[in-house]
Every structure is written in structure tokens, then in C-alpha cells.
Structure 1
């Protein structure tokens, strides 16, 4: 679907320079002289590189629709993560480095959304928050103020996270998967 350069919004995926790009930020500029343009910060969906580009209102770009499908995480084998389409039971294998460091948050049976373009996976979305158990946490140092100090703790999946002083080993907490931060103590 063709759209004008001034219609590009953050989150849009466009085809540009023979590659797929997602618009991260856009800024409509109306200079005193000359025509208006849209200053767009783009991120390449295939290799992660960034690009700043100007699109005039008269230019057209190809807006790409990504197919989104839910898959269930089954297991990891030899560096490959195996997912299953819950409707067709077809399996999909993705390399661990495709998912990146967030692969540590995958749990058996977890539902993820895989984005693909022309049958080729280009992105994956994990649930926003997961519940994990603390395996080790530093003891509280007396005299520390609660408001200013967080302490390091190790999660059951081997990821380090900063937690408030009152959290101890064996407790379950909720962690934000996008920026790997403590959200709150999980309810028992």
C-alpha cells in the first residue's frame, strides 16, 4: 500500500532502499522557505541499523503489512528455539540469537507473537511481564535507606536484576521483559 511521505507515523513499517524499516520517530517540519517534509528516524528490521531520512509530502513509500501470528514456546535444542502454531500444530525454529537476550525469559507453554513478512520471521514479541523466582539475593545492609538503594539478585533463569532490599531468595517477583527491571512482588 502506497502512502505519502508526510503520512509516515511511528510504528509504521516501510520498504526503503530495498529493505524493511520501522519508523521509530517522526517530526513534521515546515520550513519558512521550501516545501514541508517529514524527518523520520528509521530502524532496519533485518540488521538493526538506524537511518535518518527526509520524506517530502509529494514522495510515496510502500507501507508494509506484517503478518502477526501467535506461537507457543515448546523447548530449546542446539541453540534453536522451537515454537508451535497452536492452530495448525506446525513447528517453527528460530535461532536463539534471533530472539536475543530476552530468550532467557521464555517459559514452557508461553505464547509469543511472531511477526513475519512474506513467510520470513523478522521479529518476536514476548509477554510484557513474567513471574520468576529469586535464587539468590544479597542480604540487607542495616542503615541503608529504602528509597535510594536497590540490591542485585539472581533470577531462576540466570538473569541479574536489581530489586528492593525487602526481597529475599525464594520469593517470586514480576519482571518487565522489555527492559529487564523489577516491577513488583508476585502474589502468592
Structure 2
């Protein structure tokens, strides 16, 4: 049975800047290039037969393409004892609309899409039981802009446990309406 989630892919230019933050922090399990993403809806383990129904529900989402700015470092937990280190996004009203529409479509199809309280983020590191402080990283990079993130589609991913962390494989892609123009706004 596959373990699945819907998410957004992060552009390589942003990934490069996020990966450059990695350093010797006690207990940090840094995400690799292929693990960096923004989760829209986590479904967990589903029956293989349910995947076409998930895809059909997601295909009902009608949202325009938009652009986010990946900016700022944050933690879940205190900076001295974090559970996760993550980058935030700004310009996320369109993102919240997309996530709410997807959650609604999934609910109508009978799927639970994780917990409520959507907090858009890109996990950079997860921490084990005795984490080291990331306060110096937050002091140095807390307000940093990591770059634009055009959102022209969302993806259904399968998450497979691997030796060096989960491996995410795209199952299906769902394009958003219309291209972005060169300024990053939706082309009417």
C-alpha cells in the first residue's frame, strides 16, 4: 500500500540556496535535494485501488497558476531544541486557496487529508531526540530570501522509506490554469 501526499516541487535555484544552509548541527537530519518540497495534503498509507480516486478528486481543483517567494527560516519547537527547521513562503493567499480547494475535493471523495491548520513550509532539517541549537542559523539567515517559486502545477507523490530518508516519486501531476507571465502574475 503506497504512502502518499500532495505537494509542490521546489525550483532547483531555491533548492541550491536551501541546501547551502546545511552544517554541523547536533541531531540534524538534513533533507536532500530530492526531499525538498511543500506539502499541501498528507494522506498517509492508502490502498493501491484508491489512487485513481485521489487523482480524480485532485483533477477537480480549478486554481490559477501563481508565484510564491521562499523566504525566512523558522523552527517547529524552540530554536535551542528544534523538532524541524524550515523555510517559509510569502504571497501565500493563492497557496491557501489551492490547499483549501484540494482539501475540499479530497473530503468530498471521502479522503482525510492530514491535520487541520495548514502551515505552508519547506522542511530543511528534522531533528532527533537531543537536537542542537539552530539559533545561530536563524540569526544569520532568518530573514533571507531564497528565491521565487512559480507554482504551475501540484503533484501526487508516493513516499517510500529509503536508507537515507524517504524517497518521493511523482505519481501524477495536476496543472493549474493559465501560465504565469514574466512578472510572476497570472496571465488572463
With structure 1 as the length reference, what TM-score do the two structures score? 0.20
The answer to which structure has the higher helix fraction is: 2
The answer to which structure has the higher strand fraction is: 1
With structure 2 as the length reference, what TM-score do the two structures score? 0.20
Pick the structure with greater CA Rg.
1
